[in-house]
Structure 1
Amino acid sequence: MHNSYQQISEPNNSVRLSDIAEATGFSLSTVSKALNGRSDVAESTRRIINAALNMKGYTKRNTARKKQHLIEVVFQDFDNIWALEVLRGVVKEAKKHDLGTITTISGDKKHPDNTWIDGVIHRQPVGVILIFSTITNEEQERLNSCGIPFVIFDPSGNPTLNSMSVQADNWTGGLTATRHLLSLGHTRIGIITGPSDMMCSRARFDGYATALAERGIDIDPALVTEGEFTTPGGYAQAMELLNDPLTRPTAIFAGSDLQAMGVYEAARQFELSIPNQLSVIGFDDIQTSEFLGPALTTIRQPLQDMASAATELIVKTINKLPAQRHIIMPTSLVLRQSTQALHPRERRTDP
């Protein structure tokens, strides 16, 4: 225990950890564990110790963290070009500041698995970017106690006031996509959303609903499907939407470009020509979208710029520079060849 105490002893002031132990009633070992962000300390205990440290003006030495010169990006999977676009943005911005980048694959699309926090604290990056995730108050406390800032990229839920986040204007994107299809004469517009428990999915659907309401068009539940932001997910949901020739939509708004690729395959299965018999619009504008046949009309969310902004937030934080804590970046319509005006003879009212 003596060695652990020496490792974290105070370099910038005369506060001793033994004083903190005496003041809080906890052992020196527990104080040391709390200060080092160890997982075997109760959150309530950690808060009491951190409060005492702050009151005494204790400053933790963080030279070990600075030596890493790394930003860690926590993905829930890394099996598609969307993730690669995000990583490119992080790497490009990190390089400007002489920082390296490491990636971790962990957990699901709402929260990393239970081991990730211990791994991050062991690796001691200068900061962490979490993709789609939310983290618990205890995990935030542990990162804060170790001086590791974190940014949530496209958060699955509402980010807390004391966290940092970067996301796209998903509501406006959904509104713009649907308005575009409406302007072409489509009124039976199918939508494939992402998982409903993800904030970006709900926002894109709300934009879709608003655009329809502007034209006095009620939402048809038969035209609304939910799937994962993947090509197989888009394919499965499009097969469902297109199954009945009498009720199928004349256009589909896919919640992601990857889903739109699945729609293309479903249309091929039903021998539907895009855009002559089915207009398709995606969301993201990933690199491969313009090389589909036909090239995909989509809503661009600036993934690389968003990733760059998340990285810059970390750099500003570790350098104690002022920074906007929650960033929402604009989306825009990218017109290509997968949407076209509905032929007058194909226009019909809901059955």
Structure 2
Amino acid sequence: MSDIAGQAGVSVSTVSKVLNGRSDVSAETRAKVQRLLGLNGYTAPGRQEYTGGLVEFVINELDSPWAVELIRGAEEVVQRAGMGLVVSAVHGRSRLARQWLDALANRGSLGAILVLSELSPAQERELRRLGLPFAVVHPAADPGPDVPSVGATNWPGGFVATRHLLDLGHRRIAMIGGPPQRLSARARLDGYRAALEESGIAFDQELVRHGDFGHELAYHHALDMLGLPDPPTAVFAGSDHQSLGTYRALRDRGLRAPEDVSVVGFDDLPFAEWVTPRLTTVRQPLAEMTAVAARMVLQRIAGEELETTRVELATKLVVRESTGPRR
């Protein structure tokens, strides 16, 4: 402990606090001490696997391929740095979020990657009080210039998806979006509207429904719109899961994609290649988004300044078999 304290330029008691997982050590000092412990072949009790320390990954839900892709990107970066990733699901409940913050302080983690529907002011204040570097992925609202965040180009994604359907001759294009309070959902809807307006097609509120990015509500919305007197010939779904709900609604109406109704999704999750028909969708680089967020957090842990606090990664239309010309 004396050797490590000398190399780190801290007291022996500070090294002891790091070894025992105490929370009253700054993230920068903790990172320096743990890095030196690893370089010198020492390990903290109960943490033999991760001599470089722990990074938290907090997400609302874990039960989807979307979550798996996000975790995969962060895990690769964190493990390459010789650190461990601790995954927590809060299910959108403030009580669980409070428990996670308490556990984080006790674990002595060095940083956090947050994929939350909302980062409350109280949570942000607590993270800053703990001196814990963090980055937000897919922020639900504008996080502000002082909060590191990573997102995707949702407006261009919504635009190119709708433009693709317009180019195929469709004019009655429905959209099943996400929660209107979510930044990403609003941007995709705005891209959809812009593509319609560019083509001289009036925006029709009857053809727009707001969901939760899940398949169940999307199924009911799609059923409703397919039953209109003048139903849509194409559907732009705000997520791949919403596309699955749309597929089921088509089957229940005795319709097929793309022969009767074209369908475009958003995300390009692995199952998009395996459903029938294979799903045309807008790819957002989920794993790369959390990888960028992880690198941001590691930079801050090392005491380095970020070049920018806001990163947006490009989306891309992937054309498969679920879209075709209007008939």
Report the TM range for the smaller structure's normalisation.
0.7 to 0.9
Matched-pair contact (CA < 8 Å) for 1:70–1:127 = yes
CA distance 1:194–1:112, shift in 2 (3 Å): farther
Q: Does 1:69 align with 2:53?
A: yes
In the TM superposition, residue 64 of structure 1 has moved relative to its aligned partner by 10
2:79 to 92, 95, 105: 95
In the TM superposition, residue 116 of structure 1 has moved relative to its aligned partner by 2.6
Partner amino acid, structure 2, of 1:297: T
Q: Does 1:241 align with 2:241?
A: no
Q: Which blocks of at least 5 consecutive residues in structure 1 are unaligned?
A: 1-10, 14-34, 38-57, 344-351
- Residue 134 of structure 2 aligns with which residue? 150
- Residue 315 of structure 1 aligns with which residue? 298
Matched-pair contact (CA < 8 Å) for 2:235–2:264 = yes
Question: What SS does structure 1 have at the residue aligned with 2:270?
Answer: coil
Matches within 5 A, 1:214-253: 214-244=198-228, 246-253=229-236
Between the aligned partners of 2:95 and 2:267, the Cα distance in structure 1 is 22
Between the aligned partners of 2:119 and 2:227, the Cα distance in structure 1 is 40
Offset from partner CA, 1:266-287 (integer Å, 9 cap, x none)? 1000111110100000000001
CA distance 1:59–1:262, shift in 2 (3 Å): closer
In the TM superposition, residue 134 of structure 1 has moved relative to its aligned partner by 3.2
Between the aligned partners of 1:110 and 1:340, the Cα distance in structure 2 is 45
- Residue 285 of structure 1 aligns with which residue? 268
Q: Which has the larger radius of gyration?
A: 1
Offset from partner CA, 1:254-311 (integer Å, 9 cap, x none)? 0000110111111000111110100000000001101110100000000011111111
| Equivalenced residues, count | 291
Structure 1 range deviating more: 276-285 or 61-70: 61-70
Between the aligned partners of 1:228 and 1:126, the Cα distance in structure 2 is 33
In the TM superposition, residue 167 of structure 1 has moved relative to its aligned partner by 0.4
In the TM superposition, residue 119 of structure 1 has moved relative to its aligned partner by 2.1
CA distance 1:237–1:93, shift in 2 (3 Å): same
- Residue 4 of structure 2 aligns with which residue? none
- Residue 121 of structure 1 aligns with which residue? 105
In the TM superposition, residue 142 of structure 1 has moved relative to its aligned partner by 2.5
Partner amino acid, structure 2, of 1:116: W
Matched-pair contact (CA < 8 Å) for 2:27–2:111 = no
Between the aligned partners of 1:197 and 1:303, the Cα distance in structure 2 is 21
- Residue 163 of structure 2 aligns with which residue? 179
Q: TM-score, normalised by structure 2?
A: 0.83
Matched-pair contact (CA < 8 Å) for 1:109–1:133 = no
- Residue 26 of structure 1 aligns with which residue? none
- Runs in 1 of length 4+ with deviation above 2 angstroms? 58-68, 109-116, 132-142, 144-147, 320-324
Between the aligned partners of 2:286 and 2:131, the Cα distance in structure 1 is 27
Matched-pair contact (CA < 8 Å) for 2:135–2:293 = yes
Between the aligned partners of 1:93 and 1:63, the Cα distance in structure 2 is 16
Between the aligned partners of 1:36 and 1:214, the Cα distance in structure 2 is 57
In the TM superposition, residue 325 of structure 1 has moved relative to its aligned partner by 1.3
Partner amino acid, structure 2, of 1:293: T
Identical amino acids, percent of aligned pairs: 35
Offset from partner CA, 1:18-69 (integer Å, 9 cap, x none)? xxxxxxxxxxxxxxxxx949xxxxxxxxxxxxxxxxxxxx999536994672
Q: Which blocks of at least 5 consecutive residues in structure 2 are unaligned?
A: 1-8, 12-22, 35-50
Matches within 5 A, 1:1-351: 12=10, 36=24, 62=30, 66=34, 69-108=53-92, 113-244=97-228, 246-323=229-306, 324-343=308-327
CA distance 1:337–1:230, shift in 2 (3 Å): same
CA distance 1:251–1:12, shift in 2 (3 Å): same
- Residue 45 of structure 1 aligns with which residue? none
Matched-pair contact (CA < 8 Å) for 2:52–2:81 = no
CA distance 1:109–1:162, shift in 2 (3 Å): farther
Between the aligned partners of 2:298 and 2:67, the Cα distance in structure 1 is 21
Matched-pair contact (CA < 8 Å) for 2:110–2:301 = yes
Q: Larger relative CO (CA 8 A, sep 6+): 1 or 2?
A: 2
